[in-house]
Structure 1
Amino acid sequence: MTLTVTDGERRGWTVFQVEGEMDLVSSPAVRQRVHAAVADGRRRVVLDLSQVKFCDSSGIGVLIASRRLMRSCNGGLRLVMPEEGAHVNRVFAALGVRSLFDIYRELETAVDDEAEPVDLLA
């Protein structure tokens, strides 16, 4: 399975819909899209990971680097992640990186400036 990244905009947020597998070979495509968004002056990015079927540590590394980039330019990064039992969520839990990100269950909530992230540690 390959990785596709499509982009759009909602409520002032740049939205990247990521679908497929994020691994050593494919995950740099996500990094490139986030870097391009920042280069274009966009500072509010949502990565919709609800259609990611597989993610290894290199994919997580890209997400952490994207977070670091957005923070360095006073931007914001939000993630849309599926239900608790999904593969991506299990990888986040195993690596202990959930608390680094603002995570939302649905895209509509992620682009709502009044919405609070999901508390996955509760």
Structure 2
Amino acid sequence: MYKHVLVAVAFDAEHDPERSLQAAAVLAPAEARVTLLHVKEAVPSYAISYIPEDYDQALNQAIRDQLSEMATRFANAQPVLLEGHSGRTILEWAEENEVDCIVIASHRPGLQDYLLGSTAGRIVGHARCSVHVVR
């Protein structure tokens, strides 16, 4: 099995983290490291003036709390919150931290995914480790 499993966690209506967590529990033996990683996209500069000052800090804390709660399911888990482009950031973090399996949820592809590409598609196409896609 795997020594370090990264679970990419998205907090949106299209992705339920439960199935990704279940997959990670099957793929990661008890002694494996499990990283629950969420990448927060940067707020566009034109929108920053419309966001309350303390919103970003409150959002980061809420995400960290949810990731920490999910991490309690595993013996050796860590929550990680990063900011950047989802696909690139996940791939870079996985490479730098010797991840040997990425678990990522994917929605049913639509036309926009064929033109622009989805995060899961980018991970599958560029990861240097195994990738388990949950639908």
- The TM-score normalised by the length of structure 2 is 0.34
Which has the greater radius of gyration? 2
Of Structure 1 and Structure 2, which has the larger fraction of its residues in strand?
Answer: 1
**What TM-score results when the alignment is normalised by the length of structure 1?**
0.36
More helix by percentage: 2
